[in-house]
Structure 1
Amino acid sequence: MHPVIMRIGPVAILSHDVFVALGVGIAALVLLREIRRRRAEDERLWYVLAGALVGGAILARLGTWAQHLDPRDNAPLLEQWAYGNRSILSGLLGAYLGALLGKRIGGYPHKTGNLFAPAVAAGMAVGRIGCLLAEPPGTPTRLPWGIRLDEAQAAAVHVPAGVPLHPSFVYEILFHLAAFAAIVALRERVTAPGRMFTYYLAAYAAFRFGVEFVRGNEVVWAGLTRSQLFLLALLPLTLGRFVWSHKRVEAT
């Protein structure tokens, strides 16, 4: 683990923040290329992009606020914003909602899912490298590719030292790279507006639910983690989007 890339005086340059920033930059480059490839240049897309970035940033930070059912047991919102953890799942939800708001404000009438799908997959693959370098790997495993931490590294993230652990973030990086390759390979076949992004989100939700079992996150209810409960809460929305998008295509 290498949570700090370098120090400039008293300021630590965190690997997590660096790779998240790189992921956003890569996503922006992929998005611009996809816009040009599809000849979809439109100034109103800047509203959509701005909405996605702002919405994702806000909910990624505040999405982990509700740690307890009793709101009095949760941190104040300002404290959560300043010092709280970030959640990629709530960040994706925030980006989706922000993009919808950006469309409304900018008056952009078209679906953007197929534009954003390869960009999000590429950005996620890069951003998760920061998680791999800074966060606990996963649960103990007997598989040969388990990651072993020395005593100092293990103490920093509260996991056993010298025990092989699931490299859960490697699994996620590989998933997003495979998803990016699949999106690029299939984007000429899957042409229904927004359909590719729906498939990607559904696949990621299923993958993330499964990989949570080896992430080592806190189990809070019925053997499930907060991320798994969050995904279950969003399941009706995901299924509704699938049904609505298929019916819309059949009607056109």
Structure 2
Amino acid sequence: MTLHLIVDLLALISGVLMSIWFRRQYGLERPRGINQEAQHHYYLLVLLLGLVAGSLLLGTLNLRLSGQAGLAKSMLGGVFAAIVAAEIFKYFAGIRQSTGLYFVPGLVVLIAVGRIGCFFAGLDDFTYGIETQLPWGVDFGDGLKRHPVQLYETFVMFAFLGVLLIGYPKHPAFWQAQGFYVFVLVYAGQRLIWEFLKPYSIVLPPFNLFQLLCLGLLGYAVVMLLKTRKAYG
């Protein structure tokens, strides 16, 4: 069992544990707006299918666009597709409020810890950064010091988790109404920046595939924050 796989398992376990703790701590039995148990199960299934399909399809597409063979997974691709799937489900189910905060704490931990696994995977994972002369550059085995972009993302996600855990008890109504969109804004915003430090092929200058996904997520987050601002206010 590789170190990457071990860390991925730790990421999954820690994400599930964080999710369980947060829900029990604040009495979140299911996502807001979903009142029926059967509907809850269908919603989770739709999200899971979107997450897995988006992760594999978009991760592999980025790999091929960058001239690499094989299959790849992408958390960003999974999040993007899961959001699309969730919004389609909510539209047909008549759900108009945010349902996403229910998943945020666990998802943040999953991303943060999972990126540590990507860091340990080095060159094989194709998530490393471009060359840098900064003192914290890391040699992943090819003799070049590179940006440890995986850890940049880990630090940002843990910082966001800290803000959420401190802020939620003080402002639960805000976080319930807009917390998921704040997460998307932070997640997509930091990924957009770090992607400039990766050796991926440009799709639409100056952006690679993942940056285009980030721009889509940023637009979604801004629109939804503005839309829910009146409801929260």
TM-score band, normalised by shorter chain = 0.7 to 0.9
CA distance in 1, matches of 2:100, 2:179: 7
Q: Residue 91 of structure 1: CA displacement? A: 0.2
From 220, 223, 243, the equivalent of 2:203 is: 220
Alignment root-mean-square deviation, CA: 3.0
CA distance in 1, matches of 2:118, 2:3: 8
The equivalent of 2:55 in structure 1 is 60
The equivalent of 1:138 in structure 2 is 129
- Residues 1:205 and 2:193 aligned together: no
CA distance in 1, matches of 2:200, 2:83: 25
CA distance 1:22–1:50, change in 2 (3 Å): farther
CA distance 1:132–1:116, change in 2 (3 Å): same
CA distance in 2, matches of 1:194, 1:30: 20
Alpha carbons 2:50, 2:78 under 8 Å: kept: yes
CA distance in 2, matches of 1:200, 1:217: 25
- Residues 1:87 and 2:87 aligned together: no
SS at match of 1:238: helix
- Residues 1:121 and 2:104 aligned together: no
User: Quick one: percent identity of the two aligned structures?
Assistant: 25
CA distance 1:231–1:15, change in 2 (3 Å): same
- Please give the TM-score of this superposition, normalised by the length of structure 1: 0.73
Q: Residue 209 of structure 1: CA displacement? A: 0.7
The equivalent of 1:233 in structure 2 is 216
Q: Residue 195 of structure 1: CA displacement? A: 1.2
The equivalent of 1:7 in structure 2 is none
CA distance in 2, matches of 1:145, 1:90: 28
Within a 5 Å distance, the mapping from 1:1-252 to structure 2 comes to 13-42=1-30, 43=37, 45-64=40-59, 83-100=70-87, 111-134=98-121, 135-136=125-126, 137-150=128-141, 161-190=142-171, 191-192=173-174, 193-250=176-233
Look at both structures and tell me which one has the larger radius of gyration over its CA atoms.
Answer: 1
**Structure 1 counterpart of 2:16, one-letter code:** A
Q: Residue 175 of structure 1: CA displacement? A: 1.0
Give the count of matched residue pairs.
217
CA distance in 2, matches of 1:23, 1:195: 25
> Structure 1: any 5+ residue segments left out of the alignment?
1-12, 75-79, 151-160
> Structure 2: any 5+ residue segments left out of the alignment?
31-36
**Structure 1 counterpart of 2:205, one-letter code:** A
